[in-house]
């Protein structure tokens, strides 16, 4: 059954007044803000349709849930509060001096000699880990340790480590 244009279904008078009040209540500025908000919402919605963005958000939510379960969110918030308090307590002069110190440390540590030394030390540790993994100790316990202490190579290594520790202690005291 076709409804002619001149016959309109009856609309409740209260509903008409509510629609009129809503139209009258919205200023041009409010309509502009609502349109801008709707536009921003559409942009966000468009971004959420991107597969990479969606995967990133899902991953972030999973990690956030994990952090919540282990109580790490409170720790992170605490660290942020400490950092904020520290920043608020620092003057521009203090920040400038701190950045100068950091720059000085980076310049002193970021050189070829230091990089070579760290690389060599790292490789040596990797070699020891691999050798230890391949050759586990044949016997363990107190008597095995005492027997190992009787070997000249073990005593030489212990003396070396003690000498390094003493030299480091002296340098830190200076």
32-70 pLDDT tens trace: 888 888 888 888 888 888 888 889 989 999 999 999 999
Domain co-membership, 97 together with 146 = no
Q: What is the pLDDT of residue 5?
A: 53
Domain co-membership, 100 together with 166 = no
Q: What is the pLDDT of residue 1?
A: 47
C-alpha dist (Å) from residue 99 to 90, 93, 105, 139, 170:
12, 10, 10, 53, 28
Domain count, the chain: 2
Domain co-membership, 40 together with 71 = yes
Say if residue 4's pLDDT is above 60.
Answer: no
Q: What is the mean pLDDT of residues 68-78?
A: 91
- Residue 29 located in a structural domain: yes
Say if residue 155's pLDDT is above 50.
Answer: yes
When the pLDDT of each residue in the chain is averaged and rounded to a whole number, the result is 83
- Residue 58 located in a structural domain: yes
Domain range holding 20? 14-136
Say if residue 153's pLDDT is above 80.
Answer: yes
| CA–CA gap between residue 158 and residue 149 (Å, rounded) | 9
- Residue 4 located in a structural domain: no
Domain co-membership, 24 together with 45 = yes
Domain co-membership, 80 together with 115 = yes
Say if residue 2's pLDDT is above 70.
Answer: no
Domain co-membership, 166 together with 91 = no
- Residue 75 located in a structural domain: yes
Q: What is the mean pLDDT of residues 151-157?
A: 90
Determine if the pTM surpasses 0.75.
no
Q: What is the mean pLDDT of residues 78-105?
A: 85
Say if residue 72's pLDDT is above 60.
Answer: yes
Domain co-membership, 120 together with 58 = yes
Domain co-membership, 104 together with 142 = no
Q: In this structure, are residues 54 and 48 in contact, taking their beta carbons and an 8 Å threshold?
A: yes
């Amino acid at each position: 059954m076709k409804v002619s244009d001149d016959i309109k279904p009856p609309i409740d008078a209260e509903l008409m007044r509510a629609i009129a009040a809503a139209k009258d209540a919205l200023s041009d500025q409010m309509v502009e803000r609502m349109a801008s908000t709707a536009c921003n919402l559409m942009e966000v919605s468009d971004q959420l349709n991107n597969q990479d963005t969606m995967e990133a958000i899902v991953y972030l939510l999973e990690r956030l849930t994990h952090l919540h379960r282990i109580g790490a969110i409170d720790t992170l918030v605490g660290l942020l509060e400490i950092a904020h308090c520290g920043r608020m307590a620092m003057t521009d002069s203090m920040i400038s001096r701190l950045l100068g110190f950091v720059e000085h440390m980076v310049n002193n540590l970021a050189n070829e000699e230091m990089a070579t030394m760290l690389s060599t030390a790292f490789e040596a540790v990797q070699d020891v880990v691999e050798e230890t993994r391949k050759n586990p100790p044949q016997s363990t316990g107190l008597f095995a340790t005492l027997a190992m202490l009787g070997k000249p190579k073990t005593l030489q290594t212990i003396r070396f480590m003690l000498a390094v520790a003493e030299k480091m202690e002296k340098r830190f005291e200076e």
